[in-house]
C-alpha cells in the first residue's frame, strides 16, 4: 500500500529509538532471540490453557479460536497518556450529557447543532428511554474508546464504543502473561498496573446503583450464554469481581424487582452489567419476537429499581452516523475545544459528500453505519478494481448506510517475527469507567495489531492480534 | 442464611453435571480396559463380553440402532470416541467442559485449567480411530487426567455448597455405575447357580472387581478366596470401599446434609437419601440374596434416579 510514511512508536520516523522504548530495547538487545521465540510459543500455550478464546461468527461449528498474542509490548509514556486521558474524559462527559439531553429536552436539536433526521431515522435511538434518568445521569458506565495514532502528539478517535465494549479481559490476561513470562522486565521497568480493573469496575458499578438501598448493592453480569463470542470475557469479569454471572433464564421479576434464581430462592439484583443487546433485554418492551429476555425488565428499570449498565439506548451515541458530529457535541455540552481529534468523515447521505467519495473511492475507507467488527467495510487502497466497482454500486443504492474516511497513516509497533522485529499497524482501546463519583481510565488498554505486513485491519475476527500495552510511571 | 452469597440454581446444575460427566468418562475408560483384558486373556467367549459391557454402560441400545453387528473394534470406538453416543468418553469430556465453562465463576482457576487441559488432550488423542496398540495408553492418560481434575478439586476448592454439588454429582454417577455393573452380572454372583471354584466364574468375578478398580482392595480384605457373597458384600455394603453403594450413598447423604444444614425444614431429597440408607444398606448380604439381588439393584437404581430428579427440584436447577 502506498501512502505517507507512517510513524513508528518504537523507531519514530527516523529510526532512532523513542524514549518510552529505551529501557525495553536495552533489555531486548541482551536477550537470546531463540529464547524469545520460545517464549512466544509458550504464551500461546498459556492462553489456550486458560481458555481465552473467542467464537467465530458465521462458522458452523462453534469453533473457539485464540487471538494471536505478540510479546513485544506497546509502550506509552506517562505524559502521552495523561493527554489521552484528558481527551477521553472530556469525550465521555460530553457523550453522557448528549444522551441525557436526547432523551429529555433535546436542546441540541432545538439549537440545530445536529440534524433531527439523524435521530428520528435511527434505530439506535430508543423512544422508550425518553424521560428516564439513570442514577447520576450516567448512561455509559463502561466505555472503550478506539484510538489510532499518526504522530508524536496525534491521536484520533476512531469509534466511541458506548454500548457493550469488549476486550478488557485481553488487556488483563495479556499483562498476566507478560508478568509470568518476563518477571525481570517488570522489576527493571516501572509499568503502571492494570490489575485494579475488576475492583474498579465493581466499585464503579456499585456507585451507579439505584439510590436509597439499605444494603451493599448486588451486582451481576448478564451474558447471552456460553455460545456467545465474548463468553470468556463475561465469565472472566464476573469471576474477578466475585459476582454472579447470570443468563436470562436465571432472572425473573419478583415484587417489582429483578431477581435471580439461587439454590435457596430468588435474590434481588441492583446493578446488571449486561453484555447483551438492547433488543434482547425485554420482549414486552422491545422486540416481541425475541425468545430471550425478561418480560418486564424495562418496567423495573423505568421505576428506578435496577441499574442497567450500559443504559438501553446508548447506541445512539456511538452510531457511525453520529460520530462525525461528536466534536460539535463536545463544544455544545462542555463549551471546550475537543482535545482528541475526530477522523474527517464524509457522510454519504449528503449529496456532495457522496460525489466526492465515489470519485476518490480508491483512497478512502468506507464503513457501514451500523456495521461492526470490520465486516462490510471497504479499504480503498487495498481493494481491486472489481471490488471498487461492486462497492460503488452498493454505495449508490443505499448512500445513507455509509460513511467514508481517509486512510490514516496508522502508527506501527514492531512484532516479533522469525527474522526479528518487524513493524505492524496498531490501534488502541483504553477502557473507561464512569460513575457519579467520577471517571476512571485504566492505564493501558487493548492494543490490537494487524499481523499481516502493511495491513490496516486489526480486528481479531479478521486475523488481527494483540499486544500488552504499557503506560510507564514517568 | 445471612449475607452469604447464594449460588444460582443453574450453577448448581452445571456443577452437578460437570462432575457426573467426568465420573462417567472415567468409569467408561475402566470398563473398556476391563473388556480389553478379558479379550486378551481369551478366557471367555469373545464379542459377547462387549455386548455386556455396552449394556453396563447403558449404551447398547444406541449402538444397535447404528450398527448391524457387534465387533470389538466398533464397540470400543462407540464407547471411546463416537460423537453419536452421548455417553462416549469424548462426548462426556466435551459435556464436562461445556458445563465447566458455564460454571467457570464457581471453579478455581486450577480446576478449570485441569478440565480444559483434559478436554484438549482427549480431543487430540481421540481425533481418529485408535489402533489397538494405542488404546491402553489412551485410556490410562484419560484416567490420569480426570484424576487430576479430582485432585485439583480436592486441593483447591473451598468446602462450600459448590463443593457439595460437585460431590453429589460424582457419587450419584458412581453409585449408579457400580449398581449397573453388578446388575448386568448379577447372575454370576448368585450362590444357587455358581459352580464354586470353576475357572469361568473366577474370571467373571475378577471382571466385576476390575471394572470398579476393587481387585486389590478385595484381596487385602479377603485374600485369594473369591466367593460370591464376599464380592457382593464388598461392592454393596462395605463402607470403606470408595465405589461401593454404601460408600457412595453415605457421601451423597453427607453432602446433602451440609447443603441444607441451615434450612428450617429439610427438603424431600434429604429424606429420600435417608430412606435409601435405611431400607437398602443396613441389611445383611444374606438378606439381600434372599429377597433377590437383581430386584435389590433394580430398586436401588430407580431410587437413585428419583433422588436425582428431587435434587433438581429442591435446589432449583431449572425454572
ipTM value, please give it.
Answer: 0.86
Task: Please check the confidence at residue B48 and state whether its pLDDT lies above 80.
Answer: no
Q: What is the pLDDT of residue B242?
A: 96
Q: How many other CB atoms sit within 10 Å of the CB of residue B65?
A: 8
User: Worst-scoring range by mean pLDDT, A13-17, B212-216, B246-250?
Assistant: A13-17
Highest mean pLDDT among A455-459, B17-21, B59-63, B204-208: B17-21
Region of A167 please: left (phi>0), alpha (psi -120 to 50) or beta: left
Q: What is the pLDDT of residue A456?
A: 78
Query: Are A430 and A144 contacting, i.e. CB atoms less than 8 angstroms apart?
Result: yes
Query: Are B228 and B193 contacting, i.e. CB atoms less than 8 angstroms apart?
Result: no
Asked if A113 is an interface residue toward chain B (Cβ–Cβ < 8 A), one would say no
Angstrom distance (rounded) from CA B306 to CA A327? 65
Cβ within 8 Å, pair A262-B7: yes
Task: Please check the confidence at residue A2 and state whether its pLDDT lies above 50.
Answer: no
**pLDDT band with cut points at 50, 70 and 90 for residue A316:** very high
Angstrom distance (rounded) from CA B91 to CA B78? 11
Cβ within 8 Å, pair B105-A244: yes
**pLDDT band with cut points at 50, 70 and 90 for residue A84:** very high
Task: Please check the confidence at residue A197 and state whether its pLDDT lies above 70.
Answer: yes
Residue range A288-311: average pLDDT? 90
Place of cell 503506560: A471
Asked if A226 is an interface residue toward chain B (Cβ–Cβ < 8 A), one would say yes
Cβ within 8 Å, pair B7-A263: yes
Q: What tens digit of pLDDT does each residue of B197-233 get?
A: 556 667 778 888 988 999 999 999 998 887 888 999 9
Asked if A110 is an interface residue toward chain B (Cβ–Cβ < 8 A), one would say no
Residue range A1-15: average pLDDT? 76
Q: What is the pLDDT of residue A280?
A: 87
Task: Please check the confidence at residue A326 and state whether its pLDDT lies above 60.
Answer: yes
B1 closest CB neighbour out of A249, A252, A264: A264
Query: Are A466 and A174 contacting, i.e. CB atoms less than 8 angstroms apart?
Result: yes
Asked if B319 is an interface residue toward chain A (Cβ–Cβ < 8 A), one would say yes
DSSP state letters, A187-256: HHS-B---TTHHHHHHHHHHHTSPTT-SSPPPEEEE-S-TTSTTHHHHHHHHHHHT-EEE-GGGEEEETT
Share above pLDDT 90 across residues of chain A, in percent, rounded to a whole number: 74
User: B267 to each of B261, B314, B315, how far by Cα in Å?
Assistant: 11, 6, 9
In the structure grid, which three cell numbers stand for residue A412, read together?
Answer: 506501527
Q: At what angle do helices A326-334 and A78-102 cross, to 10 degrees?
A: 80
Query: Are B303 and B269 contacting, i.e. CB atoms less than 8 angstroms apart?
Result: no
| Closest chain A residue to the Cα of B115, Cα to Cα | A49
Angstrom distance (rounded) from CA A260 to CA A246? 8
In the structure grid, which three cell numbers stand for residue B15, read together?
Answer: 456443577
Angstrom distance (rounded) from CA A80 to CA B261? 57
Angstrom distance (rounded) from CA A443 to CA A432? 10
Place of cell 478366596: B225
Angstrom distance (rounded) from CA B94 to CA B226? 39
Place of cell 512484532: A415
Q: What tens digit of pLDDT does each residue of A231-248 get?
A: 999 999 999 999 999 999
Q: At residue A55, what are phi and psi to the nearest 5 degrees?
A: -90, 140
Angstrom distance (rounded) from CA B165 to CA A310? 34
Q: What is the pLDDT of residue B199?
A: 60
Closest CA–CA distance from residue A262 to any residue of chain B (Å): 4
Asked if A93 is an interface residue toward chain B (Cβ–Cβ < 8 A), one would say no
Angstrom distance (rounded) from CA A386 to CA A372? 23
SS3 for A466?
strand
Closest CA–CA distance from residue A261 to any residue of chain B (Å): 6
Task: Please check the confidence at residue B45 and state whether its pLDDT lies above 70.
Answer: no
Q: In a 10 Å sphere around its CB, with 0-12 CB exposed, 13-18 middle and 19+ buried, how is residue A438 labelled?
A: exposed
Q: At residue B48, what are phi and psi to the nearest 5 degrees?
A: -60, -35
In the structure grid, which three cell numbers stand for residue A268, read together?
Answer: 434481588
Closest CA–CA distance from residue B101 to any residue of chain A (Å): 7
SS3 for B142?
helix
B316 closest CB neighbour out of A51, A225, A261: A261
Query: Are B18 and B146 contacting, i.e. CB atoms less than 8 angstroms apart?
Result: no
Cβ within 8 Å, pair A265-B12: no
Asked if B123 is an interface residue toward chain A (Cβ–Cβ < 8 A), one would say no
Report residue A189 CA to chain centroid gap: 28
Tell me which of B206 and A446 has the higher pLDDT. A446
Task: Please check the confidence at residue A438 and state whether its pLDDT lies above 90.
Answer: yes
Query: Are A334 and A166 contacting, i.e. CB atoms less than 8 angstroms apart?
Result: no
Asked if B155 is an interface residue toward chain A (Cβ–Cβ < 8 A), one would say no
Cβ within 8 Å, pair B105-A261: no
Cβ within 8 Å, pair B105-A238: yes
**pLDDT band with cut points at 50, 70 and 90 for residue B46:** low
Cβ within 8 Å, pair B98-A226: yes
Q: Hey, of B5, B10, B106, which one would you mutate to test binding to chain A, going by the most A CBs within 10 A of its CB? A: B10
Closest CA–CA distance from residue A165 to any residue of chain B (Å): 21
Angstrom distance (rounded) from CA B149 to CA B18? 11
Q: Which residues of A touch B104 (CB under 8 A)?
A: 51, 235-236, 239, 245
Q: What is the pLDDT of residue A60?
A: 38
Q: What is the pLDDT of residue B193?
A: 53
Asked if A55 is an interface residue toward chain B (Cβ–Cβ < 8 A), one would say no
**pLDDT band with cut points at 50, 70 and 90 for residue A62:** very low
Please indicate, yes or no, whether the overall pTM of this predicted structure exceeds 0.95: no
Place of cell 446493578: A271
Closest CA–CA distance from residue A263 to any residue of chain B (Å): 4
B104 closest CB neighbour out of A239, A247, A263: A239
Q: Which residues of B touch A252 (CB under 8 A)?
A: 319
Q: Which residues of B touch A245 (CB under 8 A)?
A: 104-105
For CA atoms A115, A117, A120, A121, the dihedral sign is negative
Peptide bond into A310 cis (omega under 30): yes
Q: Hey, of B100, B101, B116, which one would you mutate to test binding to chain A, going by the most A CBs within 10 A of its CB? A: B101
Angstrom distance (rounded) from CA A445 to CA B203? 65
DSSP state letters, A103-137: TTT-HHHHTTSS-THHHHT-TTS-GGGTT---GGG
**pLDDT band with cut points at 50, 70 and 90 for residue B35:** confident
Asked if A16 is an interface residue toward chain B (Cβ–Cβ < 8 A), one would say no
Q: At residue A342, what are phi and psi to the nearest 5 degrees?
A: -100, 145
**pLDDT band with cut points at 50, 70 and 90 for residue B191:** low
Tell me which of A460 and A321 has the higher pLDDT. A321
Amino acid at each position: 500500500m502506498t501512502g505517507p510514511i507512517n510513524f513508528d512508536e518504537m523507531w519514530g520516523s527516523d529510526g532512532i529509538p523513542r524514549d518510552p522504548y529505551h529501557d525495553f530495547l536495552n533489555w531486548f538487545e541482551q536477550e537470546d532471540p531463540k529464547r524469545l521465540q520460545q517464549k512466544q510459543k509458550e504464551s500461546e500455550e498459556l492462553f489456550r490453557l486458560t481458555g481465552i478464546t473467542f467464537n467465530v461468527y458465521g462458522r458452523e461449528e462453534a469453533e473457539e479460536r485464540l487471538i494471536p498474542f505478540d510479546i513485544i509490548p506497546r509502550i506509552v509514556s506517562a505524559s502521552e497518556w495523561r493527554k489521552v486521558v484528558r481527551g477521553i474524559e472530556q469525550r465521555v462527559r460530553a457523550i453522557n450529557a448528549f444522551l441525557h439531553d436526547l432523551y429529555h429536552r433535546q436542546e441540541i436539536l432545538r439549537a440545530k447543532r445536529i440534524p433531527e433526521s439523524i435521530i428520528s431515522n435511527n434505530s439506535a435511538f430508543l423512544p422508550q428511554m425518553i424521560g428516564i434518568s439513570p442514577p447520576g445521569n450516567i448512561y455509559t458506565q463502561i466505555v472503550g474508546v478506539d484510538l489510532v495514532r499518526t504522530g508524536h502528539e496525534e491521536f484520533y478517535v476512531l469509534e466511541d464504543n458506548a454500548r457493550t465494549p469488549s476486550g478488557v479481559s485481553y488487556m488483563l490476561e495479556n499483562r498476566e502473561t507478560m508478568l509470568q513470562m518476563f518477571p525481570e522486565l517488570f522489576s527493571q521497568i516501572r509499568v503502571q498496573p492494570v490489575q485494579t480493573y475488576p475492583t474498579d469496575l465493581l466499585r464503579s458499578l456499585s456507585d451507579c446503583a439505584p439510590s436509597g438501598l439499605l444494603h451493599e448493592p448486588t451486582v451481576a453480569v448478564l451474558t447471552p450464554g456460553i455460545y456467545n463470542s465474548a463468553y470468556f470475557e463475561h465469565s472472566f469479569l464476573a469471576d474477578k469481581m466475585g459476582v454472579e454471572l447470570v443468563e436470562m433464564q436465571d432472572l425473573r421479576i419478583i415484587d417489582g424487582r429483578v431477581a435471580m434464581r439461587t439454590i435457596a430462592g430468588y435474590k434481588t439484583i441492583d446493578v446488571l452489567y449486561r453484555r447483551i443487546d438492547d433488543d434482547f433485554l425485554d420482549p414486552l418492551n422491545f422486540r416481541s419476537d425475541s425468545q430471550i429476555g425478561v418480560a418486564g425488565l424495562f418496567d423495573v428499570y423505568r421505576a428506578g429499581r435496577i441499574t442497567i449498565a450500559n443504559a438501553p439506548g446508548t447506541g445512539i451515541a456511538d452510531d457511525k452516523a453520529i460520530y462525525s458530529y461528536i466534536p460539535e457535541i463536545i463544544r455544545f455540552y462542555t463549551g471546550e475545544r475537543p482535545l482528541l481529534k475526530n477522523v474527517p468523515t464524509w457522510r454519504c447521505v449528503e449529496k456532495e459528500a457522496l460525489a466526492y467519495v465515489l470519485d476518490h473511492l480508491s483512497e478512502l475507507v468506507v464503513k457501514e453505519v451500523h456495521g461492526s467488527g470490520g465486516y462490510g467495510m471497504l479499504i480503498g487502497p487495498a481493494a481491486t478494481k472489481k471490488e471498487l466497482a461492486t462497492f460503488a454500486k452498493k454505495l449508490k443504492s443505499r448512500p445513507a448506510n455509509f460513511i467514508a474516511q481517509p486512510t490514516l497513516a496508522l502508527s506501527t509497533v514492531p512484532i516479533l517475527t522469525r527474522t526479528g522485529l518487524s513493524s505492524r499497524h496498531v490501534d488502541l482501546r483504553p477502557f473507561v469507567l464512569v460513575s457519579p463519583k467520577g471517571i476512571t481510565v485504566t492505564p493501558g488498554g487493548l492494543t490490537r495489531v494487524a499481523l499481516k505486513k502493511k495491513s490496516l485491519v486489526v480486528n481479531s475476527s479478521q486475523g488481527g492480534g494483540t499486544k500488552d500495552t504499557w503506560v510507564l510511571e514517568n | 442464611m445471612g449475607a452469604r452469597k447464594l449460588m444460582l440454581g443453574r450453577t448448581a446444575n452445571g456443577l452437578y453435571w460437570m462432575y457426573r460427566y467426568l465420573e462417567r468418562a472415567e468409569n467408561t475408560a475402566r470398563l473398556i480396559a476391563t473388556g480389553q483384558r478379558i479379550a486378551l486373556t481369551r478366557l471367555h467367549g469373545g464379542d459377547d463380553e462387549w455386548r455386556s459391557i455396552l449394556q453396563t454402560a447403558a449404551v447398547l441400545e444406541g449402538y444397535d440402532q447404528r450398527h448391524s453387528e457387534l465387533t470389538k473394534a466398533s464397540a470400543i470406538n462407540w464407547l471411546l470416541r463416537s460423537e453419536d453416543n452421548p455417553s462416549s468418553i469424548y462426548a462426556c469430556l466435551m459435556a464436562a467442559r461445556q458445563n465447566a465453562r458455564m460454571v467457570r465463576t464457581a471453579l478455581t482457576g486450577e480446576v478449570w485449567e485441569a478440565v480444559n487441559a483434559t478436554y484438549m488432550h482427549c480431543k487430540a488423542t481421540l481425533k481418529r480411530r485408535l489402533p489397538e496398540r494405542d488404546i491402553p495408553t489412551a485410556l490410562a492418560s484419560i484416567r490420569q487426567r480426570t484424576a487430576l481434575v479430582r485432585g485439583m478439586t480436592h486441593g483447591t476448592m473451598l468446602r462450600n455448597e459448590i463443593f457439595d454439588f460437585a460431590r453429589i454429582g460424582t457419587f450419584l454417577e458412581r453409585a449408579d455405575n457400580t449398581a449397573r455393573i453388578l446388575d448386568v452380572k448379577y447372575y454370576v454372583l448368585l450362590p444357587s447357580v455358581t459352580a464354586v471354584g470353576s475357572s469361568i466364574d473366577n474370571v467373571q468375578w475378577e471382571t466385576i472387581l476390575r471394572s470398579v478398580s476393587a481387585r486389590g482392595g478385595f484381596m487385602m480384605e479377603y485374600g485369594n478366596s473369591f466367593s460370591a457373597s464376599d464380592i457382593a458384600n464388598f461392592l454393596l455394603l462395605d463402607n470403606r470401599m470408595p465405589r461401593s453403594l454404601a460408600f457412595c450413598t453415605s457421601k451423597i447423604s453427607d453432602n446433602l446434609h451440609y447443603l441444607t444444614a441451615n434450612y428450617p425444614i429439610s427438603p424431600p431429597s434429604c429424606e429420600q437419601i435417608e430412606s435409601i440408607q435405611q431400607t437398602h444398606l443396613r441389611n445383611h448380604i444374606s438378606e439381600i440374596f434372599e429377597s433377590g439381588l437383581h430386584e435389590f439393584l433394580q430398586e436401588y437404581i430407580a431410587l437413585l434416579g428419583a433422588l436425582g430428579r428431587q435434587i433438581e427440584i429442591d435446589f432449583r436447577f431449572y425454572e
